[in-house]
Structure 1
Amino acid sequence: MQTIHTHNQSSATDSCLHSTVAALANNYGLMFVRTPEKVPNNWGSPCLVTRYALPQSQPKAARAVLAYLLTPAGERREAGMTAKIIALTQVAGEPRVDSRQVAEQLGSKHKNTLELIDRYTEKFKGFGLLAFQTQARPGGQHGGGAVRFALLNEDQAFFLLTLSRNTERVVDLKASLILAFREARYGYACQTLEANKKEASQSGSRLARWRYAKPGLQDHVAHLREQLRLPLDLEVAI
């Protein structure tokens, strides 16, 4: 049985393992075995992590989830499939959602979503930098070329949803976005706390600043953790 913890997650290209596990458990009902253990950190010192594993009852369900996530977006729409996990992208330290994901979960064509964003560009800019990117299409898909998409911050994403009728699908998407952005804030706060702690170990003056800043950082992490209502055994000890 293959297992993973937060210090070997880089091999799986996952920069926020606890949030991924939370999303898989909450949105797809997957069960994980969580085992605390100590492993060497990047400096050779022991640190406490949580090792995640799938019990024997879960591989079939996990393969079904993986098959869904690997299904091209167009085929998902044709089959009436909708995703529940929202993967966010960091842009200058701010979590953003890909407009293609929003369109997929709304069950609409991405070009229609882009038309809405272009029509109300000034409104979107009022909620922050409106970031667009392009990505090459796989060869042979829609004639090749590049696809243009937007990376929306939290306010922009919810403004986009106000432009759609409040159907059950839209309501579900709003709920998923709230969870995704909360998880992103929690993960970033945990990383900030850990980075400050590592910096404090490098010199006496930094240690003094750490002691001053530590209570506020810990309170912020605790507040975000309460918002997520994550079970304690889901987190890496900090």
Structure 2
Amino acid sequence: MKRASSSPGFKEASGAFGFAGDATDAAPHWSGHRERLRTKLLNRGAGALDDYEILEVLLMAFIPRRDVKPIAKALQAKFRTLSALLAAPAEEMVKVDGVGETVAAYLKAIAELNSRAAREEIKAREAISSWSALVEYVRREIQHEAREQFRVLFLDRKNQLITDEIMGRGTVDHAPVYPREIARRALEVQCSSLILVHNHPSGDPKPSRADIDITREIIDVLQPFDITVHDHLIVGTAGVVSFRSSGLI
């Protein structure tokens, strides 16, 4: 009997992902592995899975007819950490054999879900009272950015997040920051305080002299409006440095 052609819904799986069709009617070797992995997840919880196995579970949904274990391990090898993978541009993801634009889009959607969930957690409580949640949020957002990014977390009178906005994008070692523009935006959103955040693409979060000077300028500009700068966080892959904890403000 002539084999029916693949349905249009699996066009990417059979093209971009290199699926060539089963040689026989027998179940492929990886189908049992998928079932065992699903059972492990459901019975023992996601915490029982290694990072590459979590990736496998996700890829199983996106790539229905291919052994995804090699793809998961290739993603892990290229990006090393899950946070780096989810922060990576889609054009970097598709360089991994077996990853097409659809899979990259799904992974970026998952990354956005993580960011929004973290943002909701910050909004639901006082940002400055939940240090671990705040640090996790800012690390997830910018620790893997290839260029410097200066962000401001604008807070209300209860120190809850009003909005998190990018106020400057720059090069690998500098992002332009305009204190008066930050003051203008703070008045627009009617914030009572704020937290400054920027990243060091080098990975080292140690503050530079320029970081210290710009922080002082922003504090001075906001002082007449009675708007407090609670902290300035510098984020790198090596960690997060707090100006307040370091005695710099």
| Normalised TM-score (structure 2) | 0.27
Larger radius of gyration: 2
| Normalised TM-score (structure 1) | 0.28
